[in-house]
Amino acid sequence: MRKPGHDGWKERIFEVQQAYWKGSAVIGYEKQQKINTELAEILSNIREQGRNKIQGSRDISEQFDIGLYSQSTVRELMKKFIESSCHVSMLCTCEMTKFVNVIMGESVKILREPPPCHFEVIAIGSLARGEATPYSDLEYIILVDRVESDIKEYFTKLSMTSYFLIGNLGETNLKYMAIKELDGWFQDMAKNGFKIDGLSPQAGNIPTGNGTSDRGYSFITTPDDLFKAYEYVSNHPDEDSLRGDLTAMMCFMTVLYSHGHKEGPLLQSLRLKVQAMELSEQRIHVNKEMLESDMRKFDFAPDQRLVDQAYTVDAKRQLYRFPSILLFDLAVTNGIFEADAWGTAGQLLATKTISEDFHLCLMFQLAVACYVRLSAYLYHDSQDDRISLASQRVRINCQQKDPSLNSPGDRWYVHTGLVLALADTMIPMKTALGSPDVDTARVCKHYSTESTSSSQAMCRIATLQHTGHTTLAFEMLVKRFGQLDLLLKPKGVHEWINSHPEFADQRNIEILANILLESLRFNEALPLLFYLSEISTGCDKETIALSIAECQRGLGDHEQALLT
């Protein structure tokens, strides 16, 4: 077992690194520890800056009142929040870029010998997209002006030296290094923080790669060779095993460190080649399929599933992935190459690829995702992105029902008003994009929040109910859809559905029934539950029967409840 700060581990790691260098680097143990201390202090300062700056976004998030439903007010708040969150993300990105520049500079010094050619260290991933945090994995490649055996050897050593400096910070949990010899017996207690991308088959966006590529892509390469690899992928999309890696690189790249040049001509020459290339019809078709499949894959929404998982959400996987991947897919599909994700969204709007409403909703989702991801990381001081989309009070209630849940303090809580605003934009957009046989390009271009106002209202009501604010959900339900007396009449449920098309969706009827049940309005809930029992099948019937029995008990009919 390795524990942070455990006696002897630093010395052992230093010995391993010395063995790798085999005398090609002059650095003693004390010098290594001095460099490590300085780098750790820089990283700590960046995190403190992030902690201070994110308070502005938090203040705006708390202005999203739970009962707020004025579209003009909400839109203005969304714009303010986007601006604030974007500022924090770009600040973290800028500071982390400087930090990696220092790491690469120290790595060059450690190797003693001057670099054999001009080279540029290029960021890919979140650092290139302008979405980095001070805990994000570092994804990077090295562009050189020529590749020869001695050059490849030097830059392999340089890459390994940068890995050592990053690993010495103590935030690289070895499980991410995919070391088979450690499986089953070695436990690493180091936190998961700032580290290289890793060596698992799903990772490996680092200069030396992860060793799993069938075609042996190297990320110590010339612009010409990397472009040839990209060109091959573009012309053979069915064989595109590295589609995500190579295509993402071409969309978002930025210079982290340059030797021999100031303007980054190696990256610039690569960009010009990519931008001049015309994608084949087959590739364009595959790109569109990729966009549509990703929209179906990232289907999370603040819906009934929140109850099943006690309102716990992984910020990166369930919130951040959707807007980030959507932006990336749209950039690839439309051949847009901007400096970062925020600029890409602006260019998509400028070219009228997406509507103003789609742009606002997408940017807000990205802003919220970046905000909650960084907030969770800062809260846990690691790449732990567990958050709750319900209040701590609701979480405590969940724990009382299920003592196996972790304590309410084990996650960061999102302000409920912000959750509601996120649901207002996310659920209608995902519904529109995730429909079978949808024309994604048309949805993006003509998307309008006015056409989704009814579904937004239902989303807000549902989210209030799912996050434990039943009283507010009921008040909004009555305000939006009117009194519920109709439900008490014979065939009243059918008349209600005919009068309110939103409730043709069975899920919305279930939400309405649950709100009434939790509000102890058993008379109105009972006919809805009987209707649901008629149209539902399988295990749903058992759940509905229990709810019917609860209503009957609430109305004093204990004998009928027992029969049910």
Domain boundary residue among 478, 513, 530?
A: 478
Do residues 489 and 406 both lie within one domain?
no
DSSP 314-329: EIIIIIIHHHHHHHHH
Q: Which amino acid, 60?
A: I
Strands (E), 425-515: none
pLDDT of residue 130: 94
CATH number at residue 248: 3.30.460
Residues 92 and 150 in one domain: yes
Residue 4 lies in a domain: no
The answer to whether residue 504 sits within a structural domain is yes
Rounded to an integer, what is the distance from CA 56 to the centroid of its chain? 21
182 and 59 share a domain?
A: yes
Strand, coil or helix: 555:
coil
Distances (CA, A) of 117 to 12, 145, 301: 33, 7, 50
Residue 191 lies in a domain: yes
Q: Does 157 map to a domain?
A: yes
pLDDT range class, residue 80, cuts 50, 70, 90: very high
The encoded tokens of residue 371 equal 């905000």
Question: Range with the lowest mean pLDDT among 61-70, 161-170, 223-232, 314-323?
Answer: 61-70
Verify that 387 and 240 share a domain, yes or no.
no
Residue 92 shares a structural domain with residue 158: yes
Distance of CA 319 to the CA centre of its chain: 5
Of 418 and 92, the one with more pLDDT = 92
Strand partners, 314: 386
The mean per-residue pLDDT over the stretch 105-122 comes to 92
Residue 172 maps to a domain: yes
C-alpha distances (whole Å) from 243 to each of 114, 124, 164 are: 35, 14, 29
Which of 257, 277, 297 is the last residue in one of the domains?
277
Distances (CA, A) of 63 to 75, 80, 187, 379: 12, 11, 44, 21
Domain assignment present for residue 1? The answer is no
81 class by beta-carbon count within 10 Å (0-12 exposed, 13-18 middle, 19+ buried): buried
Task: Look at residue 462 and tell me if it is in a domain.
Answer: yes
Same domain, 271 and 291: no
Strand 119-124 relative to strand 412-413, pairing: unpaired
Q: Are 318 and 393 contained in the same domain?
A: yes
> Which of 310-324 are b and which e, b meaning 16 or more Cβ less than 10 Å from the residue's Cβ?
bbbbbbbebbbbbbb
Mean pLDDT check: name the lowest of 1-10, 235-244, 326-335: 235-244
Placement of tokens 């980095």 in the chain: 132
CB 115 within 8 A of CB 89: no
Contact 100, 120 (CB under 8 A): no
Q: Residue 200: is its pLDDT beyond 70?
A: no
- 272 and 290 within one domain: no
Exposure letters 415-426 (e unless 16+ CB within 10 A, then b): bbbbbbbbbbbb
Structural domain tally of the chain? Answer: 3
User: Looking at the DSSP assignment, which residues form a beta bridge with residue 551?
Assistant: none
Q: What is the mean pLDDT of residues 51-64?
A: 93
Instruction: Please tell me whether residues 100 and 121 are part of one structural domain.
Output: yes
**Dist CA 183 CA 185 (whole Å):** 6
Range with top average pLDDT, 210-219, 305-314, 398-407, 489-498? 489-498
Question: By the 8 A CB rule, do 308 and 314 touch?
Answer: no
CB 315 within 8 A of CB 367: no
**259 and 150 both lie in a single domain:** yes
Question: Which residues span the domain enclosing 193?
Answer: 9-277
Helix (H) or strand (E) holding 276: helix 265-276
Rg (CA), the chain: 27
Tell me: do 136 and 243 sit in the same domain.
Answer: yes
- pLDDT over 50 (residue 241): no
* Residue 117 pLDDT > 80: yes
289/389 same-domain check: yes
Is 3 a member of any domain?
Answer: no
